[in-house]
């Protein structure tokens, strides 16, 4: 073990001196040493470290030492914004003070997160044509006022998130950038951010930026060449990479772009600022063709979907509907290209060019999905069930992201660290994670949590529950059990579901009951965003939160606010999801057992994430209730129980 790592983490070391009540965690030191070794030998290592190990310190300290000594560059990629902000605003500043070092760390955001002062100035002179109503004008005025006082000019610095349409008119983008000819070059927020990146030794990004960066041309890349890569929250890699290496074409995207160009009813839009009458006519044609095209998609969806509740349908043949929209999109693109040649000035030329590229990108996505031109991809229709936003989309996604990443990203001879609290399945094997994301040759390390789960957690398992497929009976039984467990802790509960439909049934059954007893009841999908729901949950005693998917992971609620996690159903993925269906078919073609090779490991990993919501510090205590009796009545249930830390278990009827 290196003297440096030992000294930094020791009871008499710099961290201990800077942190009151510091305790040496041997798991943290072991991980730091493993990361240091991987960096020095340009190796890949997969590390599962339980909650409370302090993973970020374990990789930040050896990583900073490595890049500062070699004057090289490392990238840290996270899935959630909260972890990204913790690393850049809390962990790194603390370690820099404690170690008396400048890590030269920079938070990297996508280009359109920054304000473009030239576009702000242009929009001032064109606002009567660009903005639809008083609300948009007020939003623009708010952004203008902020532009005089902001230091970094990024969305993060804005007090309140702006209207997306107004922000689109003033944000930085590659297509409308004047570069060195811009009169605002010296004040440019994006260029200042790029300069910081040039001097940096550690870049902190999120998975979405990292993988969208992988999918674009080299010259437009936000991220420079790097020598080491850390994926924190590595369990999210497959889903995020799948999203960014796929394609989507939706009615809402077409509608949004046409609204930006021209709205005939309100006589507003970009085309009025350049007086392009011909393109206005093309916009109207695109609108009409789009309504008809997506109308045909909806008809096809309604006629072919397997059951009424489904919001997606697999497309198994190319050109399943006639592409009557592609020609009018091409016509609009050509009309704008003509307007670009006759632009009055360089600014107009660039703005027109950016719209041409957006239209062509839409057209390309449309053709990719309709022609099914990408091999080993799955194609599907999605129709939103939201009565307010009737989004219809056609989609494409890679079936096996591992093959793509294995041959590209992971074939590079560079140090790569993959870490999370949930990477192994059942008996501690990393095989599933490594196969899914395409990691071949790597070292592995499993570290437990320093928390005392035996004394901090009581796990309740309900033995005699109806089978989940008997939905009405199951929902009724769930409601009764939830009442009992919520009252046991006087609220402070996450009630986790695997589907909106079951959650909505149970919520309707319990809403009045819980409200009458004074609980603050929150439900995902009721209009509040995730961050506002969490804020209310933390601040109001006796809260009960009904959530799906995003509340199973990436949530950190410490203290008495959360003392109860109720898992209503083992989190097996919905079998009629087109991506899951295609992945299962691929495994079956290879002669593998899809349940054991895919469904079960996925469910175990999600279960571990749900379990991990409860204990976030050494002082946290509480209960976890599992209301799905398959965990003890089925042979595979043992894999779920083996995947979590040992704790007190109470099996009840």
CATH of the domain at 238: 3.40.50.300
Spatial neighbors of 466 by CB under 8 A, at least 6 apart, are 473, 474, 477
Tokens of 573: 């993925």
CB 103 within 8 A of CB 96: yes
Q: Is residue 597 in a domain?
A: yes
- Residues (pLDDT < 70) of the chain are 1, 216-221, 386-389
Note whether residue 501 is domain-resident. yes
Distance CA 533, CA 521 (A): 10
- pLDDT one-digit tens code per residue, 558-612: 888 999 999 999 999 877 789 999 999 999 999 999 999 999 999 999 999 999 9
Assess if residue 130 is contained within a domain. Answer: no
Measured CA to CA in angstroms, residue 171 lies from 195, 260, 316 at distances of 19, 14, 39
**466 and 442 in one domain?**
no
Residues 445 and 539 in one domain: no
Indicate whether 412 and 364 sit together in one domain: no
In this structure, the strands spanning 543-548 and 520-523 are parallel
How far is the C-alpha of 224 from the C-alpha of 54, rounded, in Å? 28
137 within domain boundaries: no
Residue 298 to residues 137, 304, 384, Cα–Cα distance (Å): 36, 10, 11
Give the dihedral sign, CA 255/259/264/266. positive
Helices (DSSP H) in 235-345: which residue ranges?
A: 237-244, 251-261, 270-274, 277-304, 326-341
Whether residues 563 and 502 fall in one domain: yes
pLDDT of residue 67: 97
Contact 485, 623 (CB under 8 A): yes
Q: Is 68 found in the same domain as 210?
A: yes
**For residue 536, is it within any domain?**
yes
Look at residue 311 in the predicted model and tell me its pLDDT: 87
Position 124 in a domain: no
Q: Which backbone phi and psi does 651 adopt, to 5 degrees?
A: -100, 125
pLDDT value of residue 216: 67
Cα Rg, the chain, nearest whole Å: 26
- The values of phi and psi at residue 378, to 5°, are -110, 145
Residues 603 and 549 placed together within one structural domain of the fold:
yes
> Do 349 and 471 sit in the same domain of this protein?
no
The pLDDT score that the predictor gives to residue 220 is: 55
Q: Does residue 174 belong to any structural domain of this protein?
A: no
Where do we find the tokens 């991506």? 579
At residue 446, φ and ψ (nearest 5 deg) are -115, 125
Q: Which residues make Cβ contacts (< 8 Å) with residue 190, sequence separation at least 6? A: 111, 114, 116, 153, 172
**Is residue 206 domain-shared with residue 285, that is, in the same domain?**
no
Which residue, among 544, 532, 562, has the nearest Cα to 497 in the 3D structure?
544
Helices (H) and strands (E) in the chain, counts: 28, 18
Q: Is the separation of the CB atoms in 419 and 232 below 8 Å?
A: yes
Residue written as token pair 């695109």: 286
Give the residue from 450, 475, 492 where a domain finishes.
450
Element (H, E) at 444: strand 443-447
The answer to whether residues 434 and 295 belong to one domain is no
Asked if 557 and 587 sit in the same domain, the reply is yes
**Looking at residue 464, what DSSP letter applies?**
S
Query: What is d(CA 268, CA 133) in angstroms, rounded to the nearest whole number?
Result: 9
71 and 213 both lie in a single domain: yes
- E strand residue ranges, 530-601: 543-548, 564-567
Q: Is 175 a domain residue?
A: no
Instruction: Tell me what pLDDT residue 219 has.
Output: 44
With tokens 């509907």, the residue in question is 321
pTM of the prediction? 0.90
Total count of domains within the chain: 3
Q: How far apart are CA 124 and CA 286, in angstroms?
A: 29
Beta-bridged to residue 379, according to DSSP, are 396
Nearby residues of 652 by Cβ (< 8 Å), 6 or more positions away: 460, 461, 462, 463
Residues 457, 445 within the same domain? no
Domain enclosing residue 565, as ranges: 453-652
């Amino acid at each position: 073990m290196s003297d440096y790592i030992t000294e930094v983490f020791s009871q008499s070391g710099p961290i201990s001196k800077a942190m009151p009540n510091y305790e040496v965690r041997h798991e943290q030191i072991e991980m730091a040493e493993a990361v240091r070794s991987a960096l020095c030998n340009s190796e890949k290592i997969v590390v599962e470290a339980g909650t409370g190990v302090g993973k970020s310190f374990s990789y930040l300290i050896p990583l900073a030492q490595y890049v500062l000594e070699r004057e090289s560059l490392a990238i840290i990629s996270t899935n959630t914004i909260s972890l990204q902000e913790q690393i850049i605003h809390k962990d790194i500043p603390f370690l820099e003070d404690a170690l008396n070092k400048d890590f030269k760390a920079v938070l990297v955001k996508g280009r359109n997160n920054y304000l473009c002062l030239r576009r702000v100035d242009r929009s001032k002179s064109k606002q009567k044509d660009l903005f639809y109503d008083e609300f948009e004008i007020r939003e623009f005025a708010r952004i203008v006022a902020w532009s005089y006082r902001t230091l970094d000019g990024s969305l993060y610095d804005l007090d309140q998130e702006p209207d997306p349409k107004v922000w689109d008119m003033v944000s930085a983008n590659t297509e409308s950038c004047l570069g060195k000819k811009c009169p605002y070059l010296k004040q440019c927020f994006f260029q200042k951010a790029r300069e910081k990146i040039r001097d940096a030794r550690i870049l902190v990004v999120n998975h979405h930026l990292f993988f969208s960066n992988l999918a674009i041309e080299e010259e437009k890349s936000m991220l420079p060449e790097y020598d080491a890569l850390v994926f924190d929250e590595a369990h999210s890699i497959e889903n995020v990479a799948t999203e960014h290496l796929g394609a989507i074409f939706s009615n809402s995207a077409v509608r949004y772009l046409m609204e930006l160009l021209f709205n005939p009813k309100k006589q507003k839009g970009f085309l009025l600022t350049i007086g392009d009458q011909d393109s206005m006519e093309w916009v109207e044609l695109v609108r009409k063709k789009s309504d008809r095209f997506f109308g045909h998609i909806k008809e096809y969806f309604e006629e072919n979907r397997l059951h009424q509740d489904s919001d997606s349908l697999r497309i198994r043949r190319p050109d399943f509907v006639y592409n009557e929209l592609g020609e009018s999109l091409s016509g609009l693109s050509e009309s704008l290209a003509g307007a670009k040649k006759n632009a009055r000035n360089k600014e107009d030329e660039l703005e027109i060019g950016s719209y041409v590229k957006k239209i062509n990108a839409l057209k390309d996505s449309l053709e990719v999905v309709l022609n099914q031109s990408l091999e080993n991809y799955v194609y599907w229709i999605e129709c939103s069930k939201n009565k307010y936003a009737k989004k219809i989309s056609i989609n494409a996604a890679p079936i096996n992201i591992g093959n793509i990443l294995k041959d590209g990203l992971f074939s590079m001879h560079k140090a790569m660290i993959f870490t999370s609290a949930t990477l192994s399945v059942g008996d501690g094997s990393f095989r599933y994670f490594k196969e899914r994301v395409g990691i071949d040759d790597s070292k592995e390390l499993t570290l437990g949590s320093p928390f005392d789960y035996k004394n901090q957690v009581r796990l309740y398992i309900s033995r005699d529950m109806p089978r989940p497929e008997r939905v009405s009976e199951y929902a009724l039984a769930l409601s009764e059990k939830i009442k009992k467990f919520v009252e046991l802790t006087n609220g402070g509960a996450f009630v986790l579901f695997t589907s909106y439909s079951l959650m909505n049934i149970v919520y309707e059954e319990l809403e009045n009951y819980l409200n009458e007893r004074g609980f603050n009841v929150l439900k995902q999908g009721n209009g509040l965003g995730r961050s506002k729901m969490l804020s209310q949950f933390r601040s109001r005693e006796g809260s009960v939160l009904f959530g799906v998917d995003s509340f199973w992971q990436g949530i950190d609620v410490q203290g008495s606010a959360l003392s109860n996690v109720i898992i209503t159903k083992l989190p097996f993925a919905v079998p009629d999801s087109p991506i899951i269906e295609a992945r299962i078919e691929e495994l079956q073609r290879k002669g593998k057992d899809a349940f054991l090779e895919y469904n079960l490991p996925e469910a175990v990993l999600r279960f571990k994430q749900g379990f991990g919501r409860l204990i976030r510090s050494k002082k946290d205590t509480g209960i976890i209730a599992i209301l799905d009796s398959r965990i003890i009545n089925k042979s595979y249930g043992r894999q779920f129980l083996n995947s979590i830390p040992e704790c007190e278990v109470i099996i009840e009827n």
